[in-house]
Amino acid sequence: MGLTLPDSAASHTLTREHVRLERCQRGDHVVAEIRLDRPDKDNALSMAMIERLGSIVEDLARDRTVRAVVVRANGPCFCTGGDISEWGGLTPHEMERDWLLRGSGVFGRLAALPQPVIAVIAGDALGGGLELAMAADLRLAVRSARFGCPEVTIGVIPGWMGTRRLAELIGPARARHLLLLGSPISATQAYDWGLVTATADDDAELERQLDVWLDRLLANAPVAMTLVKGIVSDLHEDVVQQHASAAAEAAATEDCREGVRAFLEKRLPVFRNR
């Protein structure tokens, strides 16, 4: 990632609510790195983390000195999704208003950043973690990583535009495979399906590939890349409310309440189709 920019603010590094931002110098350009730092919880996203991510994204959207953005995480997992202890007890209205629409808004703004965004995935990306990775423009993963949408196993559905993004990235048939079975796939299969842009054997190769991509992106015309990203991001503007409403409806079912209880009690759920 290059050298961290020196200054009195500890190299622009901000540490709040397990999400850190660091600006790094690469030659004549600046690259921003967003890093999830909650490894003891497999980087599960809390509302505070989502809010912090939103603030970072808003800052980067205005920062013309930053030419590329990298999203990555500390620990063995990239991100295992939304923290169930935060949303498991919400009412359907609270779920839609405070969790789903807020998260979708933040991920949408990340996808719409003027700078190209790379998700560097050195561990499992599941549920909301996969949704976060899909908000990036490019995804680079170590081959030991797994990718999946386990939401149906606890009675919910992806709530941060993941269903739509997944179908756009890999096609409806393969999206149904991930969404209906709820089982993870390997990074190799994710690459074959187009969910991952490239894979690496290990962390060292992961960093080498990242360097190649950053060098390429920093050599490209920023305005041209911004215009392309703007056209693509507009595809999602008319379906956010529909997606959030569907996820909230799933969260209102008895099966979802059973799924949450079973998850917290570490047992298999018993679904009754109501």
Task: Please check whether residue 252 lies inside any domain of the structure.
Answer: yes
Quick check: is 249 catalytic?
no
Task: Please check whether residue 77 lies inside any domain of the structure.
Answer: yes
How confident is the prediction along the chain (274 residues), in pLDDT tens digits per residue? 443 333 333 333 434 679 999 999 998 999 999 999 999 999 999 999 999 999 999 999 999 999 999 999 999 999 999 998 888 888 888 888 888 899 999 999 999 999 999 999 999 999 999 999 999 999 999 999 999 999 999 999 998 989 999 999 999 999 999 999 999 999 999 999 999 999 999 999 999 999 999 999 999 999 999 988 887 766 555 566 666 666 667 777 887 778 778 888 888 888 777 7
Quick check: is 131 catalytic?
yes
**How many residues does this entry show for the chain?**
274
Domain of 172 in residue numbering reads as 3-265
Catalytic residue among 22, 33, 96, 131: 131
**Residue 240, number of CB atoms within 10 A of its CB:** 18
Task: Please check whether residue 129 lies inside any domain of the structure.
Answer: yes
CATH number of the domain within which 80 lies: 3.90.226.10
Calculate the dihedral angle through the C-alpha atoms of 246, 166, 230, 108, rounding to the nearest 10 degrees: 50
First-last CA distance in the chain = 50
Task: Please check whether residue 55 lies inside any domain of the structure.
Answer: yes
Task: Please check whether residue 270 lies inside any domain of the structure.
Answer: no
In order, the DSSP letters of 64-95 are: TTEEEEEEEESSSEEE--B-HHHHTT--HHHI
Catalytic residue among 33, 51, 151, 205: 151
Residue 21 per-residue DSSP state? E
Specify the number of domains making up the chain.
1
